[in-house]
Amino acid sequence: MEIKQITTLASKEFWDRIRNRWVLAVALVFTAFALVIAYFGAAQQGSVGFHAIDVTIASLVSLVIYLIPLIALILGFDAIVGERERGSLDLLLSMPITRLEILLGKYFGLAAALTFSTVAGFGLAGIVLSPQLDLDALFHYVGFMFSSVLLGCAFLSLAVMLSVFASDRTRASGLAIALWFFFVLVFDLLLLGALVVTGGQWGGEIFPYLLLANPADVFRILNVFALDDVRTLYGLTTVFPPTLANPWLLGLVMLAWIAAPLGIASWRFRK
Amino acid sequence: MKTETQTEAGTAVIVARGVHKHYGPIHAVDGVDLDIRAGELFGLIGHNGAGKSTMFKMMLGLIPATAGDIRIDGAQVSGGNFRAVRRTIGYLPENVVLYDNLTGLETLHFFSRLKGVSQAESGAALERVGLAQAARRRVREYSKGMRQRLGFAQALLGKPRILFLDEPTSGLDPEAIRSFYAILRQLRSEGVTMVITSHILAEIQERVDRLAIMTAGKIQASGTVQALREQMDLPLWFTVRTAQADFAAVRAALAHLPVGAIETHADHLTVPCRRENKMAVIEALAALGGRVRDMTVREPSLEDVFFGFSD
């Protein structure tokens, strides 16, 4: 594997997103949402203004869990199928580059764009909020940003995988939306439904482990467990064994969610 | 393992043996053997769907063959040292698609990085294809012909020893086609081997060294245009310009010769005849003296040859 081929393709993908202002637009969306949530997050309690960072982060987690998977899937769904459909893939494949290098170059370039806009967007909001942050809160906020990046990278990996499998862009976009629905909306409902239907008899023990099968839930757990004030707000966390709540372990699970779809994509792309 | 294949006239750099490509029940390429020699301009012609582009993609290693073996300089294109092989190859795909958001110069910088070539070559390549003025314009503003020329400049990066050009002149105006072939002549003098496909047969018949006619996934014939003409044994066509009053005299002079059906036009007659009777026809017409105002002989075109083989 030649790293230079990967970085050449990755830097093209990254600068494409900088030049067409994709990175700027997404960063501004993140900044705006973060500030609005920080200011209005406690409106239900009858007051507005900047409040405890834990509550702000909890609200941001709820938002990011919808937004980032969607943005990552939209960013990555046509990575390969788009090149194939436009007709530029043949020329790329005729270069002295392997298919794995093409896949990784595409992925790392897009991941860099997503990471940059996430860090810039929430980072800017963090700077604005910094007078309210003590060191501990800052640590949590940075943790939230970092886990947001991981969440984005995991869904980007899923997007790149389906862009290898899909036969055209239309199908790829449909699959991307279906994946979003499944992981963000349907998955938790299914688990809860299974618990309710079986009266809690079935799956009580494996339930926490099943949550790991969804990168969005891993992200939620990662953030919720870091915040003492918030932990109690989430009913689900009471059933979660503390051993699984180790942030390093959850980080590893996220990395697996990045590596596995890429591995499957690479296997399929070579065929 | 032999690294080069000796053929009757020169060293083959691209050798295909028994190559098949099946897509389910469809045999896109059906047992192709090819020897393309070092430094020649080789044409691959055929109808749409004849298997030319599939053959091209297999020669480039973009898709695997179902059966058979293709080697470039003795090495398999998709084998372990594919990078080294690829660095000796330039490829211009049919209807080349480049990146609209990049400028011409940025496009070449990108491909030169992938090819491991100095970016300094990009300017010279643009100059060579006549795009130096448009170097800093975005590809989205390029006409189809300019895109095609940029694609060609991309193929020239890294001074490849072998060029694969799939319908390279589509979208080019006559002036650009002429300068395109001027570049090919120059490349041939530098020893570059070129494989070109085209469906504009009149355009390539005078320009290729040898060609292969492909139909339904098979090579029907290959050789020089002249050799194929002889192999096909198509008639030559005489055009005899004369006054209408002399039409009967011309017919009478040719009556004893084995020529085909003579066609009458406003100011000339056309006479088909076999190659071996050509001189006899010329002598008979010369004997008419001043009554024949002018005479031309047309060789069968590549198109005639092509339809002869593909029908």
Task: Among A124-133, A156-165, B136-145, name the one with the lowest average pLDDT.
Answer: A124-133
DSSP letter for each residue of A163-178: HHH-SSHHHHHHHHHH
Please indicate, yes or no, if residue B69 is contained in any of the structural domains.
yes
User: Does the pLDDT of residue A232 top 80, yes or no?
Assistant: no
**CB spacing of A96 vs B101 below 8 angstroms:** no
**CB spacing of B60 vs A94 below 8 angstroms:** yes
Tens digit of each residue's pLDDT (9 = 90 or more) over B26-50: 999 999 999 999 999 999 988 888 8
**CB spacing of A8 vs B99 below 8 angstroms:** no
Query: Do residues B80 and B203 both lie within one domain?
Result: yes
**CB spacing of B97 vs A9 below 8 angstroms:** no
Please indicate, yes or no, if residue B309 is contained in any of the structural domains.
no
Residues B152, B146: Cα–Cα separation, whole Å = 10
Six token digits for residue B255? 């009556």
Query: Do residues B103 and B176 both lie within one domain?
Result: yes
Q: What is the ipTM of this complex?
A: 0.88
From the CA of A210, how many Å to the nearest CA of chain B? 40
The stretches in chain B having pLDDT less than 50 are: 1-9
Residues B294, A217: Cα–Cα separation, whole Å = 90
Chain A residues touching B168 at Cβ < 8 A:
none
Task: Among A187-201, A216-230, B31-45, B84-98, name the one with the lowest average pLDDT.
Answer: A216-230
> How many folded domains does chain A comprise?
1
Domain that holds residue B273: 233-301
Query: Do residues B173 and B271 both lie within one domain?
Result: no
Residues B311, B306: Cα–Cα separation, whole Å = 8
**CB spacing of B114 vs A95 below 8 angstroms:** yes
Helices (H), A77-134: 81-86, 89-93, 99-129
Please indicate, yes or no, if residue B110 is contained in any of the structural domains.
yes
Determine which of B114, B162, B166 to mutate to test the interface with A (most A C-beta atoms within 10 Å). B114
Residues A74, A66: Cα–Cα separation, whole Å = 13
User: Does the pLDDT of residue A102 top 70, yes or no?
Assistant: yes
Chain B residue with CA closest to A12: the answer is B110
Cβ within 8 Å of residue A26, ≥6 positions away: A71, A114, A117, A118, A121
| CATH number for the domain harbouring residue B282 | 3.30.70.260
The minimal CB distance from B96 to the residues A8, A91, A95 is found for A91
User: Does the pLDDT of residue A79 top 50, yes or no?
Assistant: yes
Domain boundary among B173, B206, B230: B230
CB B113 within 8 A of CB A8: yes
pLDDT score for B9: 47
Please indicate, yes or no, if residue B16 is contained in any of the structural domains.
yes
The minimal CB distance from B86 to the residues A12, A86, A95 is found for A95
| CATH number for the domain harbouring residue B97 | 3.40.50.300
pLDDT score for A229: 52
B150 to chain A, any CB pair closer than 8 A? The answer is no
Residues B238, B298: Cα–Cα separation, whole Å = 6
**CB spacing of A91 vs B116 below 8 angstroms:** no
> How many folded domains does chain B comprise?
2
Domain that holds residue A77: 3-270
The minimal CB distance from B115 to the residues A9, A12, A95 is found for A95
Residues B10, A154: Cα–Cα separation, whole Å = 55
Query: Do residues B264 and B294 both lie within one domain?
Result: yes
Query: Do residues B216 and B260 both lie within one domain?
Result: no
Residues A210, A195: Cα–Cα separation, whole Å = 12
Mean pLDDT of A173-201: 88
A188 to chain B, any CB pair closer than 8 A? The answer is no
A3 to chain B, any CB pair closer than 8 A? The answer is no
Query: Do residues B204 and B291 both lie within one domain?
Result: no
Determine which of A1, A83, A91 to mutate to test the interface with B (most B C-beta atoms within 10 Å). A91
**CB spacing of B114 vs A9 below 8 angstroms:** yes
Domain boundary among B173, B195, B230: B230
Domain boundary among B209, B230, B251: B230
pLDDT score for B308: 77
Please indicate, yes or no, if residue B307 is contained in any of the structural domains.
no
Query: Do residues B226 and B247 both lie within one domain?
Result: no
CB B86 within 8 A of CB A94: yes
Query: Do residues B178 and B244 both lie within one domain?
Result: no
Query: Do residues B168 and B73 both lie within one domain?
Result: yes
pLDDT score for A196: 81
Query: Do residues B15 and B132 both lie within one domain?
Result: yes
Chain A residues touching B57 at Cβ < 8 A:
90
Query: Do residues B68 and B152 both lie within one domain?
Result: yes
From the CA of B37, how many Å to the nearest CA of chain A? 21
Tens digit of each residue's pLDDT (9 = 90 or more) over A237-252: 556 677 777 788 889 9
**CB spacing of B87 vs A97 below 8 angstroms:** no
The minimal CB distance from B116 to the residues A9, A20, A96 is found for A96
pLDDT score for B7: 47
Query: Do residues B286 and B198 both lie within one domain?
Result: no
Determine which of A2, A4, A84, A95 to mutate to test the interface with B (most B C-beta atoms within 10 Å). A95
Please indicate, yes or no, if residue B311 is contained in any of the structural domains.
no
pLDDT score for A146: 93
A5 to chain B, any CB pair closer than 8 A? The answer is yes
SS (H, E, C) chain B: CCCCEEECCEEEEEEEEEEEEEECCEEEEEEEEEEEECCCEEEEECCCCCCHHHHHHHHCCCCCCCEEEEEECCEECCCCCHHHHHCCEEEECCCCCCCCCCEHHHHHHHHHHHHCCCCCHHHHHHHHCCCHHHCCCEHHHCCHHHHHHHHHHHHHCCCCCEEEEECCCCCCCHHHHHHHHHHHHHHHHCCCEEEEECCCHHHHHCCCCEEEEEECCEEEEEECHHHHHHHHCCCEEEEEEECHHHHHHHHHHHCCCCECCCEECCCEEEEEECHHHHHHHHHHHHCCHHHEEEEEEECCCHHHHHHHHHC
Please indicate, yes or no, if residue B85 is contained in any of the structural domains.
yes
Reported as a pLDDT band with limits 50, 70 and 90, residue A162 is very high
B264 φψ region: left (φ > 0), alpha (ψ -120 to 50), beta (else): beta
Please indicate, yes or no, if residue B21 is contained in any of the structural domains.
yes
How distant is the alpha carbon of residue A174 from its chain centre?
19
